[in-house]
Structure 1
Amino acid sequence: MNDLSGAAGVSVTTKLGGYRWRVCAMLLAATTINYIDRQVLGVLAPFLQQNFGWSELDYSYIVTAFQAAYAIGLLGTGAIIDRFGTRIGYALAIGVWSFAAMAHSLAVGVVSFAAARFALGLGESGNFPAAIKAVAEWFPQRERALAAGIFNAGSNIGAIVAPALVPIIASRLGWQAAFLFTGVLSATWVTVWLITYRTPDKQPKLSAAERDYIGREPSAPSVRIPWSRLLRHRQAWALAAAKFITDPIWWFFLFWLPKFLHSEYGLTLLGLGAPLIAIFLLADVGSVAGGWVAGRLIRRGWSVNRARKGTMLLCALLVVPVVFAAKASHLWVAVALIGLATAAHQGWSANVYTMASDMFPRHAVASVVGIGGFAGAVGGMLISTAIGLLLQFTGSYLPVFFMAGSAYLIALAVVHGLVPRLEPALLETSSIIAGAAE
């Protein structure tokens, strides 16, 4: 009986193995570093604006430079990763963005800050296409939303680490030092990634049981699928629309929240830490919860379409109350409303990213995510300029929070109109392969 009970007590996870979750941990670490680098400017914005005498439009131009480069980078990043593989492509991306982040320490004005942000945007454009491709390589469909939610939580961890450490570093060592401290982290990550990352079919440490569990699609040659071919499909437009409409809201949260809290509640550089940490802690919970809910519904027998869109609807509804944050009477009421919205955004985002692997084969995923990221960056450029103009001439954040509260319901309606059943795109793979062979 003891032997039998002991055998029964061996969990499925123990028999199966969990190497794929080690890969997910690496993606989480990379995304965390990505957002630390990205968020340093936002945390320091009130101080830098006073120090350099920037207007609201000056700051919006600096932010727009990052988003313009991010969009330009995504024109080719996804295709490069699809062609050369996740391992090399990801390492190059994090190397570029880390050097660019440190280059901010040499900036002396609007133009040089904008140049550093532009370089940062080029490098960071590789993060999500590479991470989503790695998830598609390493996880079965029912786990992809959870894996995407976990690594996407790195955006919130980075957004938590930045306000926790950047004000302390800047106040003691100068603002330049705040842009330098991620260099060692980045170098360590790249080294470990290059040593350890392989696709499941080439990873000797992966158990046979886990390899079978992950499953493999029929192997496809590593060829570039032109965007023009992908954009023939409504599925690609659905992902692009979701990102175009809702990504700008996340950019607003990242780059303008410290300025909003400073202007509306008089917070100092050191005083920004606790509210920003609370907001992005809530976002972290939402990122994982959004992926977990969709996966749970699928395991309960819901179709992928119903589970994905049901979770996205819940997230969209949870963002709506953020419209009241602009006129909240107390700091922590505003923090709670914004934190709920960031949590809902991240739950939404985990499912939007997973839509790419729901609707496209693995060899096209990075390119499709690149299309979505490009659309989101273009939307971010537009809203950055709009916010700069609004604040320059009205000084009110109310219109921006109104846009934030309504964006997700609009985006879901567009997505459902384009892909009512979330059906897979029927790519003409044979003709692509034949063209590559010629």
Structure 2
Amino acid sequence: MPVFQKILASIRTHRRWTIIGLLFGAAVVNGLDRQTLSVLAPTLREKLGFGSVEYSYIATSFLVAYTIGYTFCGRVLDRLGVKLGLAIALAFWSLAGVMHAFATGWLMLAVCRFMLGLGESFNSPSAVKAVADWVPVRERGLSMAISSNGNVMGAILAPPLVSFVAIKFGWQWGFIATGLAGFVLLAVWWKHFHSPEKHPAITKEEREYIQANRPQTTMARPKVAMWALLAQPICLGFFVTRLMTDSITYFFSFWLPDYLTHSRGFTLAMIGLFGWLPFLASDIGGPGGGALSDWLVRRGWNSIKARRAMMLFAACLMPLANVAARTDSAWVALALIGVLLAAQSCWMANQLTLISESVPRENVGTLLALSALGGSLGGICSTLLTGRILATYGYVPVFTGLSVMHLLAFAFLTWSQVRQQRRDIRAA
């Protein structure tokens, strides 16, 4: 009991962790709604009669909407604020999730996925912008990892929850149950989220601590048009890096249940029992990588070098994808996929933190949206290509391609950072 009271007292005096909890909850619902289709994909392919190519179109429609959403969601959040902007998006994507239950073919599923993607495109920029407003630099890596890993927790919950509901009540109820969860969260979000300047329960000490520890950046002008950011080498670097590496997240989010079904012989019940394990590893990798980079910062490392070190470590694990695709053991493959997702989560947590520390806070939402636009474009191309490759060659070439992307992306990001430093020196 005293321990519980201490925890409550800590939360009352550190309201920023309550905000991180809300962002985590929004990301859980986001990931749950997104992953419901993936869990049910083998069932829907049988019930509604479509193949891997049509499924790639359904998944791509989500990414196309994501891409469109990223062209304007950053500006919307910068103008409306995180509270109202994410509330509108949450209501929209939750309604879209429920509408999946009424699909009668792959084309209607594609329309529903488009609507879902349009709403969900607001989630990640909202989290990054909120963390930039609420969290000091020394706590930001862990905070970003926790908030972003809500998507992973949604992916962990989806296989057992959705498969249970689908087996018990029918596949339509899988979509209805996960969609309704979003409306429950909406009420909690609207009641409890505020900016540091307006939060009714924050202490004066915490508000001053947050404001005093917001980072200074080297970019001289506080407001830059979205596409003008690409003229900054570091911004171009983030765009291309996510273009190359977000595809592994989309691949396992969209195709893992299908891979386990058609390449490893899993049933829907087996997916419910074991399909969440790789995402559990991902949920460990993100906070772990974020906490380690924060630990390095607290011990005197430059924050950018700390984030980059963890990204390089994650990139060096990605060639294990070659082993996962070629092993004869389904369980070894599942374990290695868990390692890959943990590394990807570590990479993403530190990459998002690096983005938030690379531009003035007024442009964080815009740069995050721009970089995520690159990730969506990469996801669109890779998902369409995956559908075609699977129909002809199977999964081995896909795993092989994914194994090298992070190392190439890290090299490009390093080059862009060097160019940015030289440009800043000349400008000074």
Shift of 1:407: 1.0
Specify every segment of 5 or more residues in structure 1 that has no aligned partner in the other structure, as ranges: 1-9, 427-438
1:78 and 1:129 in contact (8 A); partners too:
yes
State the match for 1:42 in structure 2: 38
- Aligned twin of 2:91: 95
Q: Which amino acid aligns with 2:398?
A: V
Question: What are the equivalent positions in structure 2 for 1:188-203 lying under 5 Å apart?
Answer: 188-203=184-199
Q: Which moved more, 1:337-346 or 1:261-270?
A: 261-270
Match of residue 413, structure 2, among 415, 422, 426:
415
Taking a change above 3 Å as real, the CA distance of residues 332 and 62 of structure 1, as seen in their structure-2 partners, is same
> Paired residue for 2:240?
241
Q: Which runs of 5+ in 2 are unaligned?
A: 1-5, 217-221
Q: Are 1:252 and 2:248 counterparts?
A: no
Deviation for aligned residue 1:271: 0.8
Partner of 2:326: 327
Aligned to 1:79: 75
Paired residue for 1:400, among 398, 401, 412? 398
Cα deviation, 1:302-324, whole Å, max 9, x if unaligned, reads: 11221111110111112221211
Shift in Å, 1:151: 0.9
Residue matched to 1:177: 173
1:335 partner amino acid: L
Task: Give the Cα–Cα distance (whole angstroms) in 1 for the partners of residues 11 and 349 of structure 2.
Answer: 28
Contact 1:294 1:308 in 2 (8 A): yes
Q: SS of the residue aligned with 1:181?
A: helix
Determine which of 110, 116, 123 is the counterpart of 1:114.
Answer: 110
Partner residue in 1 for 2:362:
363
Supply the distance in 1 between the matched residues of 2:173 and 2:273 (Cα, whole angstroms): 21
8 Å CA contact 2:322, 2:400 repeated in 1: yes
- TM-score in terms of structure 1 length: 0.90
Cross-structure match for 1:136 = 132
Q: Is the 8 A contact 1:149 1:291 kept in 2?
A: yes
SS at match of 1:206: coil
Tell me the CA shift for residue 37 of structure 1: 0.2
The answer for the alignment partner of 1:300 in structure 2 is 299
Give the deviation of 1:425 after TM superposition. 9.8
Please tell me the root mean square deviation across aligned C-alpha atoms, in Å.
2.2
Matches within 5 A, 1:363-402: 363-394=362-393, 396-402=394-400
1:148 aligns with 2:144: yes
- After TM superposition, list the pairs within 5 Å mapping 1:311-350 onto structure 2: 311-350=310-349
Residue 214 of structure 1: CA displacement?
Answer: 1.4
Query: After the TM superposition, which segments of 4 or more aligned residues of structure 1 sit over 3 Å from their partners?
Result: 13-16, 216-219, 420-426
* Offset of residue 68 of structure 1: 0.4
1:418-437 CA distance string (max 9 Å, x none): 013986998xxxxxxxxxxx
Relative to structure 1, is the Cα distance of residues 267 and 27 closer, same or farther in structure 2, using a 3 angstrom cutoff?
A: same
Moved more, 296-305 or 176-185: 176-185
What is the Cα deviation at residue 289 of structure 1? 0.6
Work out whether residues 305 and 422 of structure 1, in 8 Å CA contact, stay in contact via their aligned partners in 2. Answer: no
2:159 — aligned with what?
Answer: 163
Q: Which residue of 1 aligns with 2:3?
A: none
Task: Quote the offset at 1:16 in angstroms.
Answer: 9.3
Matched ranges for 1:2-21 at <5 A? 14=10, 17-21=13-17
CA separation of 1:131 and 1:68: change in aligned 2, threshold 3 A: same
Aligned-partner SS, 2:289: helix
SS of structure 1 residue aligned to 2:375: helix
Deviation of 1:183 after TM superposition, in Å, equals 3.5
